[in-house]
Amino acid sequence: MKVQVATSLLEANDIIARDNRKLLAESGVYLLNLMSSPGSGKTTIIERLLRLEEEEAVLSDQSRRLKIGVIEGDIQGTKDAERVERYHIPVVQINTYGACHLDARMVRAALEDLPLSDLDLVFVENVGNLVCPAEFDIGEDLKAMVLSVAEGDDKPEKYPLMFKESALIILNKVDLLPYTDFNMDALDERVLSINPSAQVFKVSARTGDGMEDLYRWLKGRVLSKKCAITT
């Protein structure tokens, strides 16, 4: 009986996720679902990417600037939404009041509060949790996860679903490598054995190291979705 309940919950979620995906395709918006354990640097990475997009717009043509929105998922509070709002972009806060992941229904309500027809990319910062966010399809184009150096290189083996589901894996806080026993070769091997096709970026959202490559790669994905829709 328990299994049936769990299955129907995920099935109901999948139906709404499919509908979210349709809405996003109609609006030409790319949705990135950013997941990680608490504190690995999701918000800092979003802030860095927003800064890189601002800098790019200054250097090149303003009309080529990506229009970005953010959905912040937290159990409670608005701290991350306040951080991101400083970039003068549309931000919607979801408070789950206890639930440790976002589901498709919550994201749908947040999408309806964003000016989708004016946006190219929406970051969803999921609730800090390395387990169940990976189980819930929210209608995203890309599942991405952040692992920070301080968490250790053994995490792929301990939380395999998150590593398996994430097409993009961001190893953050590489500036802390000299102060830890983090073994990069061991991490690479473990990621490869669980998700050989994952795109991996090694960055420091604090120093900016590696962030430009991540930004370029992501922008390419966003623009190719736009192209596929408009042609």
Ligand X SMILES: Nc1nc2c(ncn2[C@@H]2O[C@H](COP(=O)(O)OP(=O)(O)OP(=O)(O)O)[C@@H](O)[C@H]2O)c(=O)[nH]1
Q: Which parts of this chain interact with Zn ion (CB under 5 A)?
A: 100-101, 132
Cβ-based nearer residue to ligand X, 16 or 74: 74
Q: How far is the CB of 41 from ligand X (least distance, A)?
A: 3
Q: How far is the CB of 79 from ligand X (least distance, A)?
A: 8
The reply on whether position 205 binds ligand X by CB under 6 A is yes
Q: How far is the CB of 14 from ligand X (least distance, A)?
A: 25
Residue 132 binds which of ligand X, Zn ion, Mg ion, none (CB < 5-8 A, kind-dependent):
Zn ion
User: 165 with 143: CB under 8 angstroms?
Assistant: yes
Kindly state the DSSP code that residue 62 receives in the 8-state scheme.
Answer: G
Nearest to 216 by CA among 34, 41, 35, 53: 53
Cβ-based nearer residue to ligand X, 36 or 195: 36
Rounded CA gap, 94 and 78, in Å? 9
Number of chain positions touching Mg ion (CB under 5 A): 3
How buried is residue 19: exposed, middle or buried, by Cβ count under 10 Å (0-12/13-18/19+)?
Answer: middle
Q: Could you tell me how far CA 76 lies from the centroid of its own chain? A: 19
Give the CB-nearest residue to Mg ion.
43
Among 24, 29, 30, 41, binds ligand X (CB under 6 A): 41
**Residue 118 φ/ψ, nearest 5 degrees:** -100, 5
Rounded CA gap, 159 and 167, in Å? 15
The reply on whether position 80 binds Mg ion by CB under 5 A is yes
Q: Looking only at residues 169 through 188 of this chain, which bind ligand X when binding is defined by CB under 6 A? A: 172-173, 175-176
Beta pairing partners, 69: 122
Q: Which residues contact Mg ion by CB under 5 A?
A: 42-43, 80
Q: Which residues contact ligand X by CB under 6 A?
A: 36, 38-44, 80, 128, 172-173, 175-176, 204-206
